[in-house]
Structure 1
Amino acid sequence: MAALHGGHLIAKQLRKEGVRYLFTLSGGHISPIYDGCVKEGIGVIDFRHEQAAVHAAEGWAKVTGRPGVAAITAGPGVTDGVTGIANAWCGGSPCLVIGGKSPLSQWGMGALQELDHVDFIKPITKYAHVVAETRRLPEFVSIAFRHALAGRPGPSFLEVPFDVMFGTADETTVWFPQHDRAQGRIHADPSEVRRAADILARAERPVVMAGSAVWFDQAWEALRALVETLNAPVYLNGMGRGAIPADHPLFFSLSRRAALSQADVVLVIGTPFDFRLGFGRPPLFHPEAKVIQVDVTETEIAKNRDVEVGLVGNVQAVLTQLVNELEAGRGRRAESAWLETLRGVEARARAADEPFMYSDQVPIHPFRLVREIRDFLDRDATVIGDGGDIVTFGARVIEIFKPGHWLDPGALGCLGVGTGYAIAAKLARPSEQVLILHGDGSFGLNGFEFETMARHHLPVVSVVGNDGAWGQNKHPQQRRFGHTVAQELSQDVRYDKVVEALGGYGETVTEPSQIRPALERAFAAGVPACINVITDPTVGYGHSGAATH
């Protein structure tokens, strides 16, 4: 057998792992990987900034459930990618980032782009390691994948020195791991499942709150069976959105605060008690509510609050256990007054929003913009939120019907994820609509990746809510201090012209009646497209969940 260089060894193992694309920005330290990918039939998608390449690797995980892979060069290449790695860490997204490194033979001598990456990458990864031998590269790729996927998913990082990457090894001496993962799913303790089922069966005002682990553990069918057995309202956040279709009679969204503050039993599935859930405490949660928590990681159980029952295991497996236990006991619950109460809350909230969603005012009300998007999109469209206020409006109105079809930055609140996520989504779902809902501020972070889309023939559509400000900060600052500083942008910026210059299609919209025709033209263009929508700069999204003026 021939001697293979390090990049080819990496690519061979990536192919064994089922990797279809490598996300990267050109770098000399990592160039052998590109040669290996060509030889192994792995597509190479090259970006204009390493942050966006790593966001794409995370985006691939978010839309496929399988780790995405990014390769970034030494020194500034790795530091540019840190934000993407941190976002994947906070979001629990499995991915592998391969970083270049100065030659081991020159380490400490002041080699080009010499930097010890592992020390500052370790705190934001599940696994970070320097590979010192060329022949062991496939083994460490396998180890990195295993860490990324074990328990709560997350990013892994491999640092490959220049002389290891360019070095060679006889293929006959190299181990390419194939049967290197535990099979099967971890189930919760049966006695604890029975306790949880008994509490749920006796609940008068049950609520189910489910998050990203439902997606990564492929538990959407089990979740649906559970809520239908309980006949309980279900609320979704993060990558959990779409696990229950938006038109399912037990899916609720606008009544979450009312539901959690009145519930006697809350089942929290695969989502942390972080700021998005008020840390699991009053006033968002009823002070006497019994809480049952399901999570893949034991350390997440009872984080920030006490729980009545903690169930640890694969989310699909645990929910199936709960369904079986409930059906073996009391069977399916009947319709309750509790559901009707919450439907009333939902109806009143929708009625309050409706005048704004159908408003003909100019500048355009953001509620009108996101309602037009909602009404236009196909049922299987993938929507990516990358912004502040405009994404909050969008999350309130735009309906998601399939799991893994809503992507947002997650708990880190990282702006600039949109283009990387969208590139991954369009590669994974080439025949489906992919739309980025951009804030005008967030567009500026990685907007140059529209050139990447054009070069790789990926017709993604971006709708920019252009209010000429960092709106999510501007309005609270104005209320608190009576003035704004460092919050103003300009509504005269032609984001559509930027995309045109990068090889795409663009237009600016100033009238509500122009929104749908613009969406039709953008999706028909066959190239990356941007609709620059001038929205009312006086409207912000209030903390209470209503538009403020």
Structure 2
Amino acid sequence: MAMVTGGQLVARMLKEERVRHVFTLSGLHVAPIYAGLVEEGIGVVDTRHEQAAAHAADAYARITRGVGVAVVTAGPGVTDALTGVANANAANSPLILLGGAAPLFNQSRGSLQEMEQVDLFHRISKWSDRVPSPDLVPLYMAKAFRVALSGRPGPVFLELAWDVLCNGVDESTLQIPRLYRTRARMAPDPGSVDDALALLAAAERPAMIAGSSVYWDDAPDALRAFVERAQIPTYLNGAGRGCLPPDHPMFFQHTRKEALTGADVVFVIGTPFDFRLNYGAEPTFSAASKIVQVDIDPTEVGRNRPVDVGIVADSRSALAAFADGAKKATRTAYIRELRASEEKKLAAMQEWMRSDAVPIHHYRLAKELSDVANAGDRDPMFIADGGNWVALAAKVLSLKAPGRWLDPGPLGCLGVGAPFALAAKLLHPERQVWVVQGDGSFGLNGFDFETAVRFKLPMICVVGNDAAWGQIRLPQVGMFGEEKSPATLLAPTRYDEVVKAFGGWGELVTQPAQIRPALERALASGTVACVNVMLDPQAPATSGAMGYAV
């Protein structure tokens, strides 16, 4: 009679789902899972904080468009990972968090690290539950994968007690699920597609916002086919960045407000009307604009903004239907007008990109970074973790392909830099991974650059150092004055020396002419590198790029 433990069954189900790496911070409550992972040949990457493990698993899910898995110990291990789950939930990322727990026979007796865990996740996950016995591990794991990946993706939490993981089950009595989820797509309603195309046919100034679902649904080709045929200026946000090449004639970046306020029809594909789109309201959108919204989640269609045509479908199916049915359009004058405005705004930004001012302007650093990262046949991936430095860099950095930009998502969670980069480099060792790192956010999970050194995962962290929580400080001082703006200043810390102490490479940059040589040396170091660049704290305000959201 062959026996198999609950921990071994967890590992077997992960292998069945083709998970190649799991992120964790060690804890005895989950040690039986580690043993199973080793047996199944699944890599175990141990981080310096459970939040980092959850963030890394979140990034793993985004890059693979599958599940990412974090394993954490009971009690504080689970609560430390909570923020990572909340961030994944807001970003619709299928993170699976497996949390240990006290043995069932000791629960409610005051066991080590015992607390209620399942209830913590009900409002920030698609499903949260506890596995009651080892024989049910495969069924619960199969459901976790199915729930996380179905419809609008999202995180799942499963609690596994010590004895559920340790106890054995007769392998011959087990039901191992197979073919437990569908990969079918959701096609749009044909009548609604016709209604949307009728609005488009009557439009003179259409525009499109294409969001994260265009990436998740592997829809860049369908997007390109539609916008080329219909001649629709397109703006990308979230994980949708990179889904059109930077030189594509329908890709626009700096004129979104102008296009949306003047549009007679706006297609909103796979992104919600949240704060990033000003909830679909004026002055970002015109009240007179007709709206076509596509989303896989029917509860998202029409939230915050009335829509004229609402379509429940995956982005690829909807865009392909639009491309097949749209009439070939010519909008030469409109496109030329918008392109001229785009070039005018870019020219104004380029003045700052060429600035030799000291301290260094954010735009100058971003331009140098984009040029170095994209030189020749380099294939960079950018991890965004910060406030003003990230916001300004996003306007400048050129993305060669889909999936080359990772940011926290709408929760705005800081601390994703090093953890996201771990997953990116594990999955794509051939790519150059650049962390666009705020100095404040470095303090959250910067110790996981040590994890990168330990696992020999080269990456370059470019710290934009304004010695402040700049995105908070500038509006706070503007609203309340200098004397009523505590908790917004930091020290001009040598983050480059911190990374060097981990065994990496580091360099401080204080002059614009030093930027490019330092970035090239960081890349050539072949290890974990930090280029710590001192930025002008006032630059976002003086260049008209300051913004905030509440």
The bucket for the TM-score relative to the shorter chain is over 0.9
Q: State yes or no: 1:245 paired with 2:245.
A: yes
Contact kept in structure 1, 2:385 and 2:415, CA below 8 Å: yes
The aligned runs of 1:105-184 (5 Å cut-off) are: 105-184=105-184
- Deviation string 1:344-395 (CA, Å, 9 cap, x unpaired) is 2211111111111011111111110000001111352110110000001110
Query: 2:362 is aligned with what amino acid?
Result: P
Q: Structure 2: how far apart are the matches of 1:334 and 1:509? A: 49
Higher mean displacement: 525-534 or 267-276? 525-534
Query: 2:64 is aligned with what amino acid?
Result: T
Q: Structure 2: how far apart are the matches of 1:183 and 1:535? A: 47
Contact kept in structure 1, 2:471 and 2:547, CA below 8 Å: no
SS at match of 1:305: coil
| Residue 355 of structure 1, aligned match among 347, 351, 373 | 351
| 1:393 aligned partner | 392
Query: 1:460 is aligned with what amino acid?
Result: M
Q: Structure 2: how far apart are the matches of 1:360 and 1:518? A: 16
- Deviation string 1:46-101 (CA, Å, 9 cap, x unpaired) is 00000000000110112121111000110000000000000000011111110011
| 1:486 aligned partner | 487
Deviation of the 1:547 alpha carbon: 9.8
- Deviation string 1:28-52 (CA, Å, 9 cap, x unpaired) is 1101111111110100000000000
Q: State yes or no: 1:282 paired with 2:282.
A: yes
| 1:218 aligned partner | 218
- Deviation string 1:215-261 (CA, Å, 9 cap, x unpaired) is 11111111111111111100000000011111111100100010011
Q: Structure 2: how far apart are the matches of 1:456 and 1:112? A: 31
Query: 1:489 is aligned with what amino acid?
Result: L
The aligned runs of 1:359-378 (5 Å cut-off) are: 359-378=355-374
Does the C-alpha gap of structure 1 residues 543 and 307 become closer, same or farther in structure 2, counting only changes over 3 Å? Answer: farther
Contact kept in structure 1, 2:352 and 2:543, CA below 8 Å: no
Q: Structure 1: how far apart are the matches of 2:202 and 2:86? A: 42
Higher mean displacement: 232-241 or 517-526? 517-526
Q: Structure 1: how far apart are the matches of 2:7 and 2:124? A: 25
Q: Point out where structure 2 has 5 or more consecutive residues left out of the alignment.
A: none
Q: State yes or no: 1:456 paired with 2:452.
A: no
SS at match of 1:12: helix
Q: Point out where structure 1 has 5 or more consecutive residues left out of the alignment.
A: none
Query: 2:344 is aligned with what amino acid?
Result: R
Q: Structure 2: how far apart are the matches of 1:187 and 1:547? A: 38
Contact kept in structure 1, 2:388 and 2:546, CA below 8 Å: no
| 1:324 aligned partner | 324
| 1:35 aligned partner | 35
| 2:254 aligned partner | 254
Deviation of the 1:520 alpha carbon: 1.1
Query: 1:356 is aligned with what amino acid?
Result: W
Q: Structure 2: how far apart are the matches of 1:467 and 1:165? A: 48
Q: Structure 1: how far apart are the matches of 2:546 and 2:138? A: 52
Query: 1:229 is aligned with what amino acid?
Result: R
Contact kept in structure 2, 1:30 and 1:100, CA below 8 Å: yes
Deviation of the 1:273 alpha carbon: 0.1
- Deviation string 1:390-437 (CA, Å, 9 cap, x unpaired) is 001110111112111101111101000111111000011101110001
| 2:446 aligned partner | 447
SS at match of 2:169: strand
Contact kept in structure 2, 1:227 and 1:234, CA below 8 Å: yes
Higher mean displacement: 399-408 or 271-280? 399-408
Contact kept in structure 2, 1:247 and 1:401, CA below 8 Å: no
CA RMSD of aligned residues (A): 1.4
Q: Structure 2: how far apart are the matches of 1:526 and 1:5? A: 41
- Deviation string 1:279-313 (CA, Å, 9 cap, x unpaired) is 00111101100000000010000000110000101
Contact kept in structure 2, 1:8 and 1:32, CA below 8 Å: yes
Q: Structure 2: how far apart are the matches of 1:423 and 1:541? A: 33
Q: Structure 1: how far apart are the matches of 2:273 and 2:507? A: 42
Deviation of the 1:200 alpha carbon: 1.2
| 2:303 aligned partner | 303
Does the C-alpha gap of structure 1 residues 546 and 125 become closer, same or farther in structure 2, counting only changes over 3 Å? Answer: closer
Deviation of the 1:182 alpha carbon: 2.1
Deviation of the 1:540 alpha carbon: 2.4
Higher mean displacement: 356-365 or 233-242? 356-365
The normalised TM-score by structure 2 is 0.97
- Deviation string 1:164-196 (CA, Å, 9 cap, x unpaired) is 011111222222222111242111111111111
Does the C-alpha gap of structure 1 residues 543 and 351 become closer, same or farther in structure 2, counting only changes over 3 Å? Answer: closer
Query: 2:207 is aligned with what amino acid?
Result: V
Contact kept in structure 1, 2:469 and 2:488, CA below 8 Å: yes
Q: Structure 1: how far apart are the matches of 2:307 and 2:547? A: 35
| 2:195 aligned partner | 195
Contact kept in structure 2, 1:265 and 1:291, CA below 8 Å: yes
How many residues were matched structurally? 543
SS at match of 1:99: strand
Query: 2:489 is aligned with what amino acid?
Result: E
Q: Structure 1: how far apart are the matches of 2:308 and 2:187? A: 18
SS at match of 2:232: coil
Contact kept in structure 1, 2:96 and 2:155, CA below 8 Å: yes
SS at match of 2:346: helix
SS at match of 1:221: helix
| 1:335 aligned partner | 331
Contact kept in structure 2, 1:389 and 1:541, CA below 8 Å: no
SS at match of 2:310: strand
Does the C-alpha gap of structure 1 residues 344 and 140 become closer, same or farther in structure 2, counting only changes over 3 Å? Answer: same
Q: Structure 1: how far apart are the matches of 2:393 and 2:195? A: 39
Contact kept in structure 2, 1:392 and 1:541, CA below 8 Å: no
Contact kept in structure 2, 1:393 and 1:541, CA below 8 Å: no
Deviation of the 1:458 alpha carbon: 0.4
- Deviation string 1:3-25 (CA, Å, 9 cap, x unpaired) is 11111110001000010000000
The normalised TM-score by structure 1 is 0.97
Deviation of the 1:117 alpha carbon: 0.6
Deviation of the 1:111 alpha carbon: 0.5
Deviation of the 1:541 alpha carbon: 5.0
Q: Structure 2: how far apart are the matches of 1:31 and 1:451? A: 23
Q: Structure 2: how far apart are the matches of 1:517 and 1:175? A: 59
